[in-house]
Every structure is written in structure tokens, then in C-alpha cells.
Structure 1
């Protein structure tokens, strides 16, 4: 495999400097020419292989997999030549609560034409956010609340006029604009808003006082199959510790298979498809299903401190200004066995690759020498449980967010060979797009918007935790327009990963992987951050973006 030569990056950055000088109106200050060291393919291979080995047991927080991961990262960060990033420590404690549902009863539905008994796993999954040994839902009235959205600024409230205290709400996944072709509509057209995320739906159900919230799984609007739900929502679930032990949360949060939902609606004398269509219309009124739900389970609970890993390369002239790299080190741990009996979700692509990239980039930046600004390398925990590690850092920053210039998030490198493009999740939201465009200039590649904005990827990785606090973040993936085979070949590889490997035991390291595309993308990750660490510019969100006002207020007080 051809290695990436230092001269290539040096020439790239020289051309970037000229490009930037000619494009001041793009919002990028001039960047001096900068040489760059070689990026290590062996580091990428070795760390990805080790992190995703069975010995790491799927890297679940609070397990031997976490212990091994922390040891590996601190050893490799130190060897790379960067310093501990939290005083004298490499770590930031992240207080978590582990809850594992056990002895789960069937979910029984009564009051209709026939009583239904739904099996845990193939037909439904349930958990709780409450720190409670036993959960019982008994004869809870069921109400269909459409998409479960309460958005006054959009003139939409699926809970209007309802009292759902003590009741079980049934909710559709995604948001009311799902299925539209354009990016126009009450909820951004086919681009999912945060109202479409399962996290929001459970949050709103809790605010409304519901006893239980059940989301109807549908593969297309969820963007993953039932197998992902079953593997991700069984076993220990991790939540942020709270002072009240989750007493303000619903007693039960769960998912029901769409085929099961159709049976439930039919039992209530309703057609699911017709109700789904009605829920897309503004002014939709919730429907009392005339049914009652019951379920019970016991919980095994444990409080723990998982850890974010933080390294820093101190800036030489403006060390109190920071550029951020993020990637999550965790995965699902032990999960549902596949047909062969393998029950370790190794998470090779997701996200051993991104974690390896943090180390490879730390090596490269340290070898290049300190830039003007400091660079932070942040490996976060519990992303798979709802971005908990990055959320904790963003709410308890080691380095002031007002002095954090911007950041780059890396989550699951597409192993597909070289591509003609990169895919930007949230393209057009911030001025960091200009840096990416400049970094791609010498490569002859282009940046494109994500082809499936309806999947809501912007709200599904760690950059979102920082965006909510105003820090400009960019998140891009390797492109699917492959040099060998074009978009058809790229889509086939991406679709196969999502259908057969994502959150499954089959996401394993493969010695035959073609790393050329990954290394090309790594070069771009290096260049974007190096530019940010060298320039005096403070990129912002574009005018009118939802995070612009937060950033402006933060910077005004810095």
C-alpha cells in the first residue's frame, strides 16, 4: 500500500495557504505554509485491531474493556508526545448509572378484540431511566400521540389538550416531514430535526408525565433495522447519574416492532397506516386507543465513574485557545448472539477506527511541533448510550468552551477504498465548511451534503453535545462516490454495513481491509485542525443557524 508522504501534505498546505489568501471573503484568515509529518497507517491498523479484539469485550463502560481501552490510549498518547489534558491526569470522570432489565414480563395489551402478549426481544424491548429495583406498569391507558412532538415555535403540539399522567404513549419514530422529497416543511423536509430523535421523544413524554413511552420501530425512518434495536437495548444500559435517581422520568421507555404495532392498532379498531398518515398533518389530535398496557421487570443497577480520556498538545503562542478532536472509545460490549453464537459487539468500525485516528493524529501533530493554538484530543465514553461522555465534558469543560475555536468529530471510518468526495453531516451550518473545502482542494475531492438527512445523523454523534453549547463542530465521513465503482459501489458497501454489521458482532477487524480511503480522509482531518490551530480566525455558525446566538453570547463574555 502506498504511504502518505510528508511532501504531499506540505504541498497541500502550501496550496491551501494560497487558496485562503485568495478567498478572504470565505471567512478564513491566512494560514502560513506548514509542513506535516507522515500519518501512520500502522497506528491505524494496530489500534483498530487491538481495540476491537475479543480481549476488549466490546468496550462497554465499566467493564474490563474500559480498563484495557484506557490503558492503551494513555500509553499511546504519552508515546505520541502529547501531555495529560486534565491537569496531571489523562482522565475526566463521567458519573454513570448502569441499569440492566431482568426477568422482563411480556408486554400485555388488553381491552380490545383479543388480549395480546408481546415477547421481550423479537417484538418489544423495554428499559427504564429510573434508579428503581422493580418496575411495574399495570393497566396503563394507551394513547397514540403521533410523533410525540411539542414544538411551539413550529405551531405543532401532539400533546395539546391531553393529560397523559400515568398513561402509556405510543409514538412514531422520526418527525412529521419524513418521506418528503425536498428540504422544505414544518420540520425541515426530509432532513430530520431533533424532534425526530428517540432521545427527544422520551424526554418530552417525561415532561408530559407519561408512565411509559413506546416508540414504533420502522426501518426506513429509524435508518436501522429491528436487529439494531434488539442488540442495542438489551443488556446493561447507561445513563447519567441524577440527584433524584430519575424520578422525573417515565417509568418505562421502549420500542415495539411495527408489525406488532399494526396488531395493537387493529385490536383498537384502527388502521396503523391511516393513523401514521394522519399524524403527519398539522392539527393532528391524539387518539385514545381504548387499550391498557402492562409490563414488569427487575433491574440490576450499579453507579460508576466511567472516564473520558483527554490529551493536549500545548500551543506555542496562543495556548489558551483550543482546537478540539473528538471520537468515542466505547461500544456495546456483550450483546445478542449472532447465528454462530458470537455475543461480543467488537465495534471495529464503530468506533475503534475513530479512536485509532485520535492517536494517529496526536502522533502527527506532535511530530510537526506545537502550532499557535493548543489541540485537545478527547476520547469520550458512553456515546452509544446517548452521547453521555461528550455531554458531560460540554457541561463540565476542562478548557473553556468560549475559548474553544472549533472542533472535528470522527465516528466510524467507512472502509471502502478511495473516494472522490467526503460527506458532511450538517453541511452549510458553520464556517468550518470553508476549512474543509480548502483542505480538499489539493486532493481534487469535493464535499457533499449527506444523502440521507432523514436519518438524523447530525444528532447521533458527539459533535452535537458541543454544538448545543455553541462550539462550531464539523463531522464528515468518507465519501461513497468511490474511485473504483462510483456511487453504486459505495452505496452497496455502506448499505451492507448498516444492514449486517452496525451494532452487531460482525463489526470486526478485517486484515484485508483497503485503508487507502481512510488514510486520505485522515489527511483531511489533520489539515482542517492544523489550519484552525494556526490561523487567528474564529469561525462561527452561519447567520440564522440554531447555534449562532449561543456562540455569539459565549464569545461576548470570553
Structure 2
């Protein structure tokens, strides 16, 4: 019995000491300073390929260095650089069973300057039939990573040109997908398509806090936003993205500072600020491919935590809560505190698949997004009104502390969340 009381006293003392330490490291004042800098007008809304996002990247890298993080081996400093390809189709020609086909009836998705395809090229033939959902089916083929010739039924003639809306920057690949509008079942065919290729350079910002184990726990958010756009009623044209997602990056920086000062992580911690989330999640896709999924124990993606959740202060939700037991681990580590994690209250919006956690989750990693955003009633979402003045900094600071404390047993290796069942992912 005496040993029991001693153990309890030691446990409570440890919790008290941790609480005291975290209250000194993660403060409203420090959180507010970082958030203000990231969402300042000087960052010009942090749109990709602008000086504003470069300034934001440099600021984050500086904070990672001040925190005492290490740069990844394959990076330039703290910058994880990669290239995207913009391909603009300039001309197309083709024949089906000896008959010429209109160039407007051919749309290719590729990162190659020229694509020449015949029935002997090894491309898989598939069809989008009348009654199929054109854009859903097309997107699936584009994202498949395979070579396809997709025959599109002529009942989709009206919407066929709108497939061009799906053309966006992409990673350089040797794969191509051709969409051809036809009412035939072709036997012999030949197509030639030319694109004007433009390469664009992007960069994530990544810092490492080495642990004793060759296993990783990732804390992440995205630092890009929408840039400068149409002025609102007040004449403001800068989409500052204070909540979306300067708030998440502020949390990542503060967590880096906290865990470095605590300095007792068994697992290696990775702190990542992703680019190009708003334009397709390209930053997190590239980042995720740099890891062996089996070595990633958990991912805490943090997005839009600057406002109160639907349950009020001291609460947040976890997307994909039911897909692993990670949420239960976090809740258990917060027992006795005022903070509460909840399952995602907006399942119809498929948030689990829409943020930067999605790529690693599809590999089976317990990768979840933590948020407070009221997706049915956030007045400043994707508007110039998403500014520092609209955020609840006291509550945001409490959320960052809750993430730090609730993740403790995962970081120590005491807990390992269950994996996502990839067979159940759509």
C-alpha cells in the first residue's frame, strides 16, 4: 500500500511539473506574437509562387532554428524543395479507325511536352458511360498513377470541355491519361498531343527533433493561403488566413519549442509546414513520400484552431476519429483536465480526406487533423476578414497545450495508435 501511494505521488508530481513547465513555455503572449507575424499584411496572404509565401517560409525556418531543431538531411536548410509542372495543351490530333477526330475532343493530362499514343502503346482502355458521373470518374483516373485512354460517351459532350478545370500543377511523371469524346468502341487509334511545359518550384519547411527510436511522430499544418483577391466591402483585398492556417503553423512552432525544452522524446519528432494545400495538397503529398509509412507512429495535422468549436472553449475535434484509437489515447492523457476532444461533427464534409493528413492516412498511418472550425458557420472562412483580430488567442493557446500534453505517451513510445484500415478508405 505504501508503494502504491508513493507511485501516485510521483505520478501527480510529474503531471504538476509538466503543467508548470508548459505554462511557462506556451503562453498567450508568445503564441500571439507568432500568429501576428504569420498573418500580417506583409505576408500578402501567402499565395503560392509569391514573395509573400517566401517571406513566410523564411520566418518559419528562422523559428525552427531558434527552437533548436535540426534540418532534414535531404533539405536545403529547413526548406524541403520540390518541383511542380504546369502543362498547357497547345494542340492535339488523332484518328479512330482511320477517321480524323476533332482536336477539341481530346484532352490529355500529362507532364510531358509531347504524348503519342496508339493501340500498341500499352495504355489501359476504360470508358465513362452515359449516366456515369463525369468529373468523379475522370478525377479517379487522373489520380490513379496509371496510363489510360478514357473513352467518354458523347452524352457528356456539353461538360467534356469542363474537364480542363481539373488540369492543374502536378508532379513530374511518366504517366499520362487521355480523355477522348466518342460514340465508338475504337479498335485502331492514334493520338498526338503537345503541351507547353512550365516548371514551378515550391518548398515545405521541415525541422527534426531526433529521438532514441527510428520512429516518427509528425506535427504539421499548411502555411499557404489565397493571397490577394477581390476587395471586400471594407476595401480589404488581402486574404490573411489567420485561422486558415497561420493558426496551425503557430501551433507547430510552439510545439517545437516546447518539446525541445522538455527534451525527453523517445520517438523522433518531425515538424512540418506544408505549401500548396489550398491548390491540391501538393506539399503534404511530396512530404509524405519521403517516409516509410510503417515508421510513422502518428501524425497530428493542425488546421484552423483560432476560433471556438461548436462545444465552446477548451475543446476541439479530430477528423477520422473512428478510424484509429488515437483519439481515445489523447482523451485518456487529458483525463482530469478541462479540455475535451470530440469526434468530427461534420462527417458529411469528408474532412478526413480533405486536409494534409490524407496522404499518410491512405498509407495506413494514424494521421488525423485537429480543428475547431465550425464548418457550417465560420463567417471569415476564405475571406479577407480572416485576420488576427478575429481569433481567440487564449483558447488557441489552451488547444496547443492540450495537443502537447495529450501526445505525451505517443511521443514517449508508451502508446502506439492503431493503424488506419486502408481497405475501408474510399
Is 1:93 the equivalent of 2:81? yes
The Cα shift of 1:132 comes to 9.0
- Residue 201 of structure 1 and its aligned partner are, at CA, apart by 8.1
Partner of 1:84: 71
The answer on 1:358 being equivalent to 2:299 is: no
Q: In the alignment, what sits opposite 1:118? A: none
Aligned match of 2:56 in 69, 87, 92? 69
Matched, 1:502 2:381: yes
Taking a change above 3 Å as real, the CA distance of residues 387 and 162 of structure 1, as seen in their structure-2 partners, is closer
Task: State the match for 1:209 in structure 2.
Answer: 150
Match of 2:202 in 1: 306
Aligned residues between the structures: 367
- Equivalent residue number for residue 241 of structure 1: 172
Residue in 1 that maps onto 2:302: 410
Deviation per CA, 1:294-345, whole angstroms, max 9, x where unpaired?
A: xxxxx99631221111111122xx2422211111111122334444554432
Q: How far apart in 2 are the matches of 1:547 and 1:325?
A: 25
1:94 positional shift: 2.3
Q: 1:201 to 1:16 in 2, by over 3 A?
A: farther
Partner of 2:222: 328
2:79–2:204 contact (8 Å) kept in structure 1: yes
**Map of 1:368 onto structure 2:** 262
Aligned equivalents of 1:130, 1:87: Cα separation in 2: 27
Aligned with 1:451 (options 332, 345, 350): 345
What is the deviation of 1:36? 3.8
State how far apart, in whole Å, the 1-side matches of 2:151 and 2:78 are.
Answer: 41
1:210 & 1:344 partners in 2: Cα distance? 43
Matched residues in 2 for 1:215 and 1:240: separation?
29
Alignment gaps of 5+ in structure 1: 1-10, 19-31, 102-126, 134-160, 174-194, 217-232, 253-298, 481-490, 550-558
Unaligned runs of 5+ in 2: 1-7, 90-106, 114-124, 160-164, 182-194
| Cα 1:71–1:536 shift into 2, 3 Å | same
The aligned counterpart of 2:99 is: none
Match of 1:191 in 2: none
The answer on whether the counterparts of 1:86 and 1:310 sit within 8 Å (CA) in structure 2 is: no
> For the aligned residues, what is the CA RMSD?
4.3
Q: Secondary structure at the match of 2:257?
A: helix
Deviation of the 1:250 alpha carbon: 5.0
- TM-score of the two chains, using structure 1 as the length reference: 0.56
Match of 2:408 in 1: 530
Alignment partners' CA distance in 2, 1:464 and 1:390:
9
Q: 1:368 to 1:411 in 2, by over 3 A?
A: same
How is 1:9-408 mapped onto 2 (pairs within 5 angstroms)? Answer: 14=11, 36-37=21-22, 38-86=25-73, 89-98=77-86, 163-164=127-128, 171=134, 200=140, 203=143, 209=150, 238-243=169-174, 247-248=176-177, 302-315=198-211, 318-397=212-291, 400-408=292-300
C-alpha distance in 2 between matches for 1:250 and 1:73: 42
Normalising by structure 2, what TM-score? 0.72
Looking at structure 1, the residues matched to 234 and 169 of structure 2 have their Cα atoms a distance apart, in angstroms, of 27
For the 8 Å contact 1:361–1:526, the answer to whether it is kept is yes
Residue 530 of structure 1, CA deviation:
2.7
SS in structure 2 at match of 1:413: coil
Between the aligned partners of 2:215 and 2:12, the Cα distance in structure 1 is 25
Q: Distance in 1 between the 2:70 and 2:203 partners?
A: 17
Partner of 1:7: none
Secondary structure at the residue paired with 2:422? coil
Distance 1:424 1:369 in 2: 26
Q: 1-side partners of 2:51 and 2:243: how far apart?
A: 20
> How far apart in 1 are the matches of 2:408 and 2:287?
22
